[in-house]
Chain A
Amino acid sequence: MDLSSIKPALLLASLMIAATPVIYAAIGELVVERAGVLNLGVEGMMITGAICGFIAAVNTDSPMLGFMAAAVGGALLSLLFALLTQYALANQVASGLALTLFGLGVSSLLGQGYVGIKPPSTPKLDIPVLSDLPGIGTVLSAHDIMIYLGLLLVAAVWAVLKYTRIGLILRAVGENHDAAHALGYKVVRVRVLAIMFGGACAGLGGAYISLVRVPQWTEGMTAGVGWIALALVVFASWRAGRVLLGAWLFGGVTVLQLNLQAAGVAIPVEYLSMSPYLITIVVLVIMSSDKNKAPASLGKIFHASS
């Protein structure tokens, strides 16, 4: 066992990479839940995004087109969920599960010919000022553009929810859909758009795994990250800033256990790799005492009766 091989700065840098898929998926789901919809299909949308992005990137040789395709793929799949829950008024829990099962099937079908291929690599941005900072330069700089975009997205969602009329309406719909309807807001339309935004974000998160983090395609490669993103939204008490915190915590645990594995700690690999899931449970338990912050209409079916 050689713990000295673990370098804090490199650890933090890889933490940023490990956290990014969760950031995308969780911030998307946060918007969906603030609109009052519980979409448990994040895992399915992520894996679909992962394969759509992978296929597009490999065939066009452009990672950016890959990410775009991933967002479209995730959004299209989420549209199925939107149709089921917003128009066919199906139970959201069951529909979300169906979406995950379906997404896993679709992705492995699409991914048939793509096992073992290497995708084009995503270029890294070297931000001059950041990389010169002593100590944390390695942590903050020389990442690919998607990491920075992810952080930007969190900031944008936070600002939109807090300061804009669109954000206000979205929150109103999630808080009390009957009142929002009575005031003339299009509850279903707002929710469908939110669901599709969530799908696109989950797709991006999935593609980040298949194009940057791993990078290759294997079946079921998201391995529960979508579910962890769902847990993170609870952890974050439905607030954008805290999603970031949770994602870094999760990323940190993941990276640390991988490093411990590499360093040859005497615990078998299997036990170490349980840790992200166990930590997620612990975090859920700690946070679940404070769930009054949940949008009041979360998961309820809306049907305008008049």
Chain B
Amino acid sequence: MAISNLTKTYPGVVANDSVSMELRAGEVHALLGENGAGKSTLVKMIYGLVKPDSGSMKFQGQSFTPANPHTARQAGVAMVFQHFSLFDAMSVAENIALGMENPPPMRDLSDQIKAVSETYGLPLQPDHIVGDLSAGERQRVEIIRCLLQDPKLLIMDEPTSVLTPQEVGVLFETLRKLTAQGVGILYISHKLDEIRELCQHATVLRRGQNVGSCVPSETSAREMAEMMVGSSFQTPERSRHALGDVVLKIDKLSAPSPNEFGTPLREISLELHAGEILGIGGVAGNGQDELLAALSGEMRTVADAVVFEGEVIGRLAPAARRKMGLLTAPEERLGHAAAPDMSLTENALLTGAERENLTSRGFLKWGAAQKFAQSVIESFDVRTPGTETAARALSGGNLQKFVIGREVLQRPKVLVVNQPTWGVDAAAAAAIRQALLDLATEGVAILCISQDLDELIEISDHFAALNEGRLSDIRETESLNMEQIGLMMGGAHGMEVAHVEA
């Protein structure tokens, strides 16, 4: 596979600016870059989803211009998507058939799925409904879908973001077997350690441009990070401070999920002290959204399962909890934490109405709301033309700073955040982590739910993992190593190491 001078522009952004790279059969080639660096656009062009404005591609020595994913698949290109391209209400076999060009009849397909899943150590039942599967299993569906096509080039977009460390190990085994059979793998990630372990070559993208390539095993993580970001950035500072009293207590919290394919919470207990950051790790879809909803008040539970400063609040509405000082910031920025089409002023009003006194007798104080929005923008360096800009016009990092800032400025007693830096550029992520640490120093209790283990190790005092709605024991973060963390997260979820003969 050879790519030369691919360019793709979107209004206002050059997503890819004359990107060239080469990928040999049998190698794992990393594509590195921050969010928004143009990695996704590049692979979408290879997969035929997006057509380049200029430039050319060669695949196995021949000119390659896929008009759509069908022709790309026929040529031997397969792709595992970051946000899975799966259909929840359908069976595994149906999902796989949808990703194939000429699927055999369902019964034969089921046999093939069983055969391949055995060969590569990826156990999977063809007749299960995909919506009921765990994140790791869902990724297996995607991988088997690709393997059945007998691909020459496999593209993987951030495949490990949903896996436990043990599952990552199993995945790497599978990938190594594949390369041994001559398959080329284009591996997109921003996790440098993984890339150093797995990949033979790396190409780094920054703002749509190829800014260099390297051999990961001979390059330090720090050097690669600087290539990605373009400059070195500060790691957050932690200050040691004593923990205060218990402010939030969760006692044997069990609750069904409000969503059909969600995860119920099962007997979760924890205590959160003033000034403490408790990190909750785990693969997405293990009850994180439900836990946040149970704390924000979107989901009511048994009254005494949630206790805030000695008061039972399990049945209180979101507004009442805010008034007491329990603030939350959900994962999904657009549509959950903020209303996409509303202005920043209106979005400031969304959670700030009670604590910032933005209403009087139900009537809105637009002036005060705008001032509050302005102060969030200033204190958190949110890049926006002004307070009347619609939320959806902001970049992910800027909107996330706004969302976190909106809660921080309301002087919470307890702040619960879910994936605070997901999909956010490195500089914004560092700023958000620093803000959380500063808040803890001031004595605020913080519950940080995140999939990013590095983040949790960096900022949290204590660590626990959510696995299928259950919370592990809470341990001091400093005493843990990666393997222990992986086991807390549920280990390898019954995956076996691939036993294909290479």
Contact = CB atoms under 8 A, between A and B. Distances in A.
Q: Are chains A and B touching directly in their complex (CB below 8 angstroms)?
A: yes
Interface of A: 165, 168-169, 171-172, 175-176, 178-180, 182-185, 292, 295-296, 306
A59 B94 CA distance: 49
19 contacts: A168-B98, A171-B90, A175-B89, A176-B88, A179-B84, A179-B87, A180-B98, A182-B69, A182-B81, A183-B69, A183-B98, A183-B99, A184-B69, A185-B98, A292-B260, A295-B89, A296-B88, A306-B41, A306-B44
Contacts of B72: 184
Which of A168, A178, A184, A296: most chain B CB closer than 10 A? A184
Contact of B50 (A165, A179, A296, A306): A306
Which of A171, A172, A180, A183: most chain B CB closer than 10 A? A183
A295 B99 CA distance: 19
A184 B70 contact: yes
A125 B15 CA distance: 65
B90 A172 contact: yes
Contacts of A292: 260
Contacts of A172: 87, 90, 98
A153 to B, nearest CB: 24
Contacts of B302: none
Closest 10 CB pairs of A and B: A184-B69, A179-B85, A182-B85, A175-B87, A184-B68, A292-B260, A184-B70, A176-B87, A172-B98, A172-B87
Interface string B33-75: 0000000010010001110000000000000000011101100
B336 to A, nearest CB: 16
B86 A179 contact: yes
Contacts, number: 51
Given A172-B98, A292-B260, A182 B49 contact: yes
A152 to B, nearest CB: 24
A302 to B, nearest CB: 14
A91 to B, nearest CB: 13
Interface size class of B (residues with CB under 8 A): 20 to 34
Where chain A touches its partner, the secondary structure class is helix
Contacts of B88: 175-176, 296
B350 interface: no
Contacts of A165: 97, 103
Interface string B210-239: 000000000000000000000000000000
Interface string B72-108: 1100000001001111111000100111000100000
Which of B84, B86, B87: most chain A CB closer than 10 A? B87
B49 A306 contact: yes
Contacts of A295: 89
Contacts of B48: 184
A175 B85 CA distance: 11
Contacts of A168: 94, 97-98
Contacts of B44: 306
A306 to B, nearest CB: 6
B50 A183 contact: no
Nearest to A169: B98
Nearest to A181: B49
Contacts of A296: 88-89
A171 B95 CA distance: 11
Nearest to A297: B87
A169 B81 CA distance: 19
B355 to A, nearest CB: 34
Where chain B touches its partner, the secondary structure class is loop
Contacts of B50: 306
A184 B44 CA distance: 11
A172 B91 CA distance: 11
A179 B70 CA distance: 14
A168 B89 CA distance: 12
A169 B103 CA distance: 13
Contacts of A171: 87, 90
Contacts of B86: 176, 179
Nearest to A184: B69
Contacts of A182: 49, 69, 81, 85
A269 to B, nearest CB: 45
Given A182-B81, A183-B98, 15 more contacts: A165-B103, A168-B97, A171-B87, A175-B89, A176-B85, A176-B87, A176-B88, A180-B87, A182-B69, A183-B69, A183-B99, A184-B72, A295-B89, A306-B44, A306-B50
A258 to B, nearest CB: 40
Contacts of A180: 85, 87, 98
A227 B364 CA distance: 41
A169 B100 CA distance: 12
Nearest to A186: B68
Nearest to A305: B10
Nearest to A171: B90
B416 to A, nearest CB: 28
Contacts of B90: 171-172, 175
A165 B88 CA distance: 18
A176 B99 CA distance: 14
A306 B39 CA distance: 13
Contacts of B68: 184
Nearest to A185: B98
Contacts of A306: 41, 44, 49-50
Contacts of B99: 183
A257 to B, nearest CB: 38
Contact of A183 (B41, B85, B103, B260): B85
Interface string B120-158: 000000000000000000000000000000000000000
Contacts of B49: 182, 184, 306
Contacts of B73: 184
A102 to B, nearest CB: 28
A169 B70 CA distance: 14
Nearest to A293: B89
A180 B97 CA distance: 12
A167 to B, nearest CB: 10
A165 B106 CA distance: 10
A180 B85 CA distance: 7
A165 B103 CA distance: 9
B138 to A, nearest CB: 12
Contacts of B87: 171-172, 175-176, 179-180
A163 to B, nearest CB: 8
A175 B90 CA distance: 9
A36 B283 CA distance: 30
A238 to B, nearest CB: 10
A112 to B, nearest CB: 44
